[in-house]
A and B are shown apart, each in its own frame.
Chain A
């Protein structure tokens, strides 16, 4: 199942057309997202930034099929999303490892739910975990691992089902700043090498610029697409620098200032 065998005229891997999402409550309707149109090409790494409460996570829930839009269409590979599929993997803000399962059992959770071949899934999960430096912890329990290690298990759990599209919802927000920077490098490298289409949601401007090749800014609630910035770094070899190195590139600060102004950050409370 190649990601986009269509070739030629690039049809977007993920597309949102005029998507509205409203939450209903007895006190009234809340508009979370309004008129969102966005397309992401296969293999692209896009970051979506916006202030907390602007509907960033809602956007990912729509693409993953957990939520259905109130209006508009969400397409993956040109087909409307009607529910969660194997094509899309979703990594949540925290690892949410099940404390009663071992690391390996946690990593195969998705495969287990999807009714995949468990022998293969276990082998794949073990290989992924070993690659992430967790080879000797396969039969440990989550509480015996550090935050960074746990988040690597969560990544293995997401990738074990072999999705084409990976959604990352502030995947490092629960980690301390050193682990965060190190893991950003690691995760970006892994996802790029595997050619995944990635949509990262974050409120951390630096994280967005350093990891993604495109940054989309969402306005305050109701979230609307405010601007869309390609992120380019001039490097001698033409390759994109790793996130940590990108933070030292001269372009980084320029992008940072532009995005900072667009976000209209006001200190609240």
Chain B
């Protein structure tokens, strides 16, 4: 960004320099506002409970979170460390959205391959996607047991939207690109491998953005029900013994993890899109 700026400035007209300066100022203003919003939120969260304008036992406050976090880091005979909880949630989420991507792509490819299969399944897929999957949490617990039910929920909540998104991406491939491959005598498998799949990379990224978030929802909700491990469990446990510090710390860790996922996907998107 700044490299491009300095490269462009060499030998630039004063008007262009002015334009660049205004651009940069605009970018800085956006960042500053974002930071300010976060700060305002944190300050209100700190000040309002301390001034007893809201009940501190209900909301906790940011300055209490760090000590709580340090405390939770230590594993006791009764409780695992918060790192272990986080690791468990992260693992289930990553497994969930990876499985959703792989299965979703495979199923979308099958629907693309056999158009009549798509015609038959279309209404069921739409309804399955619209179903509130969290309604199945207790049933999954009974069917799959404590750990597998969490993985199952993480997959179930993101699978159908992934299938629908990727299939519609396949449909959006320019039919003339397919025709071009056909003029060279391409088989259906070659059309899939050389045209449809590589042409759908932007769709894969878009699907990943959606289902990574959804998988995390599935994991946390699954953990509410069944786990003795994971951030969802920690939230549940904290609220049962009415320790908002624990609940808020776990939620903050979830927010950090979400941000990390967002950054990772943005980075992946930038890396992939540089090629096109």
A binds B: yes
B185 close to A92 (CB less than 8 A): no
Residues of A within 8 A of B190 (CB): 113
Interface string of B181-195 (1 = CB under 8 A from A): 111111000100011
Task: Give how many B residues have a beta carbon under 8 Å from the other chain's beta carbons.
Answer: 19
Closest to B183 in A: A90
Smallest beta-carbon distance A78→chain B, Å: 20
Binds A, one of B20-28, B85-93, B171-179, B244-252: B171-179
A141: which of B177, B180, B198, B276 is its contact (CB, 8 Å)?
B276
Is A94 interfacial (CB-CB < 8 Å)? yes
Is A227 interfacial (CB-CB < 8 Å)? no
Residues of A within 8 A of B195 (CB): 98
A100: which of B174, B179, B184, B275 is its contact (CB, 8 Å)?
B275
Residues of A within 8 A of B181 (CB): 109, 113
A84 close to B184 (CB less than 8 A): yes
Interface string of B135-168 (1 = CB under 8 A from A): 0000000000000000000000000000000000
- Given the known interface contacts A83-B185, A84-B182, the answer about A112 and B174 at a Cβ–Cβ threshold of 8 Å is no
Closest to A86 in B: B185
Interface string of B12-55 (1 = CB under 8 A from A): 00000000000000000000000000000000000000000000
A96: which of B176, B185, B276 is its contact (CB, 8 Å)?
B176
User: Could you tell me which residues of chain A, from 61 to 108, have a CB within 8 Å of some CB in chain B?
Assistant: 64-66, 83-86, 89-90, 92-94, 96, 98-101
B179 close to A113 (CB less than 8 A): no
Residues of A within 8 A of B180 (CB): 92, 96, 109
Closest to B274 in A: A141
Is A222 interfacial (CB-CB < 8 Å)? no
B184 close to A114 (CB less than 8 A): yes
- Given the known interface contacts A96-B176, A98-B199, the answer about A112 and B194 at a Cβ–Cβ threshold of 8 Å is yes
- Output the residue of B176, B182, B199, B275 with the most chain A CB within 10 A: B182
Smallest beta-carbon distance B202→chain A, Å: 10
Closest to A83 in B: B185
B177: which of A65, A83, A98 is its contact (CB, 8 Å)?
A98
A96 close to B183 (CB less than 8 A): no
A113 close to B184 (CB less than 8 A): yes
User: Could you tell me which residues of chain B, from 192 to 233, have a CB within 8 Å of some CB in chain A?
Assistant: 194-195, 198-199, 201
Is A197 interfacial (CB-CB < 8 Å)? no
User: Could you tell me which residues of chain A, from 110 to 130, have a CB within 8 Å of some CB in chain B?
Assistant: 110, 112-114
Is A143 interfacial (CB-CB < 8 Å)? yes
Residues of A within 8 A of B201 (CB): 100
Is A161 interfacial (CB-CB < 8 Å)? yes
Bound-state CA distance A246–B263 (Å) is: 60
Closest to B272 in A: A100
Residues of B within 8 A of A64 (CB): 183
B276 close to A143 (CB less than 8 A): yes
Bound-state CA distance A208–B239 (Å) is: 80
B185: which of A85, A101, A143 is its contact (CB, 8 Å)?
A85
Smallest beta-carbon distance A264→chain B, Å: 29
Residues of B within 8 A of A85 (CB): 185
Bound-state CA distance A143–B273 (Å) is: 12
Residues of B within 8 A of A110 (CB): 183-184
Bound-state CA distance A112–B275 (Å) is: 20
Bound-state CA distance A161–B181 (Å) is: 13
Residues of A within 8 A of B185 (CB): 65, 83-86, 113-114
Bound-state CA distance A200–B181 (Å) is: 20
Bound-state CA distance A98–B199 (Å) is: 8
- Given the known interface contacts A84-B185, A113-B185, A141-B275, the answer about A98 and B179 at a Cβ–Cβ threshold of 8 Å is no
B177 close to A109 (CB less than 8 A): no
Bound-state CA distance A100–B194 (Å) is: 10
Bound-state CA distance A94–B201 (Å) is: 22
Interface string of B265-276 (1 = CB under 8 A from A): 000000000011
Q: Which residues of A contact B (CB under 8 A)?
A: 64-66, 83-86, 89-90, 92-94, 96, 98-101, 109-110, 112-114, 141, 143, 161
Chain A to chain B: the 9 pairs with minimum beta-carbon distance, closest first: A84-B185, A90-B183, A110-B184, A113-B184, A99-B276, A113-B186, A96-B180, A100-B198, A96-B176
14 contacts between A and B (CB under 8 A): A66-B179, A84-B182, A84-B183, A84-B185, A86-B185, A92-B176, A92-B180, A94-B176, A96-B174, A98-B199, A100-B199, A100-B276, A109-B184, A113-B194
Instruction: Identify 8 new A-B residue pairs, CB closer than 8 A, beyond the known A85-B185, A98-B195, A100-B275.
Output: A65-B185, A92-B183, A96-B176, A98-B198, A98-B199, A110-B183, A112-B194, A113-B181
